[in-house]
Structure 1
Amino acid sequence: MVHQVFDRRAVSRHQARAAGAFQEFSFLAEEVADRLTERLEDITRSFPIAVDLGSHGGLLAPRLRGQHGIETLISTDLAPAFAARSRGPAVACDEEALPFASGTLDLVLSSLALHWVNDLPGAFVQIRQALKPDGLFIGAMLGGETLKELRECLVDAEVELEGGLSPRTSPLTDVRDLGMLLQRAGFALPVVDTDRITVTYGSALKLMQDLRGMGESNAVLERRKTFSRRNTLLRAAQLYHERYAGPDGRITATFQVLWMLGWAPAENQPQPKKPGSATHSLAEALGAQVCGVEASSPLDDTSGNG
């Protein structure tokens, strides 16, 4: 049985509430959509049937129109109000229960949706099964360092004023886990890396307002079901400014984006070599020193940038 961390009904409600004015708060989703599109440009393949999983109303569709041989791009969202914003084919569905038949898709993209999924390994398995052999999955989700500044200040303010803690922010996946999860789901040639996007705000209260407008409000099952105390939020905002304000008085907020790529297995794919079959060491290639043994052709580092 999958451990339930997130209230999926709350996630859907938050997204539905955000859908109407999302364009006012979509800067982060737009930036990640642009970066995802750039990553896809490096792949010289055609993908006739593609899905944008968790599309925020079809953000990727105008970016990919006429690109990469995409003939059909289906946008999906958990909240029907978000799905209804898409200008192309769209369906409201749960990322934990995909409606696509096995082996029917050439490409699955997902931009900032999977961090609200309870069964991430199961979602990866469903994505891989929906892909045709040699089909591609590229995803981006928020990672564990996201909003670390806000988390810290909320915790300290609540302990100081209320004498305890409540789950206010989402537990997020670590980059080290993703490669293993993709392999367990059956993806071939998985690749995982991370970006950090730093945003400045006039105050922590404006940051909290933006998170609500993005549809990213707290949806942890064990969250406090009543409104947060005003004095606790004001104290958190004060601590945030004291600790993270720059010379211009603006605070910084960190969003960590975890990137993942994997292929559905196919017979004609390149295969990793067996351990021990290499004819040259990584140390030789890098001119590095490994465990005190100097490589045969070390690089001459005279830059003084060490």
Structure 2
Amino acid sequence: MAPSPLLSVQDLRVEFITPTGPVCAVDNVSFDIAPGEVLGLAGESGSGKSTVAMAIMRLLRPPAIITGGRVLFAGQDVLSMTEEQLRAFRWRKMALVFQSAMTALNPVLTIGEQIADPIIAHDGVTKAQAMERAAALLKLVNIDTSRLASYPHQLSGGMRQRVVIAIAMALKPPFLIMDEPTTALDVVVQKEILQQIADLKDRLGFSILFITHDLSLIAEFSTRIAILYAGKLAETARAKDLFSDPKHPYTQGLLGSFPSVRGPRRRLQGIPGSPPDMRNPPPGCRFHPRCPQAFATCQNELPVLREIAPEHRGACHLY
């Protein structure tokens, strides 16, 4: 019997209000994340990944509006929480690792002050006690405690990213959202950060929603993967199944666009065209203008995400 989900996102819908009318950025997205699980949410830039993350955390501000769906965390409805309830909920139950560590950190506060801030705000401890906990968190992410007095500009990109992770873990939440945590880092540092995250997850047992545009980053890191295209889920599967037998043509295109270091050498295949203008998305399947396997039904009927293999769902008329 499968464990009860820690996080359950049900038919989430987010619209942006524009002068020409509402634009649907996230369209009826649903997924569950079990305790200790890592779900990779992947897709091209502009697919709605970060909007999903911000909606789950209730951090969206106008013109973005959540117009439908539910977000349940351990049975609690996050979307119905008051601001006071949210302040107690965020960082203690769920925390967000922002996309750019340089802009996420305050340039005029020391690293120690920024880690200590949520500890003081939520736990009501003294500054000295919070600094002790901040030092322990730095050790946890392999940064020397002497860096407590440093400012963000005095750290490398990889160290800044570790600091952002330490801040997210300040209150030991059971669930982390990581929004492209290795953006702008070189590949060696990317690998170090991913290994650090994997080690921390194994030691502390938290769940992760890992957002990325690069499937190669989460190939061995995620338990399951969900593919997002133009605001809609195209495919969800166990990570090993998605890489060995991708069903949706969009997923196949994503996997064909990056090299494999283990398999035979092959010519890389890009995906033709561009993602649709969300102000005027195409009828039917949103991927059909770019799909090499599209047929007449794809142009008129919106495919439904359904099970096409054990624990493998796809939104495609081919199945």
Structure with the greater alpha carbon radius of gyration: 1
TM-score over 0.5 for the pair = no
TM-score after normalising by structure 1: 0.30
Normalising by structure 2, what TM-score? 0.29
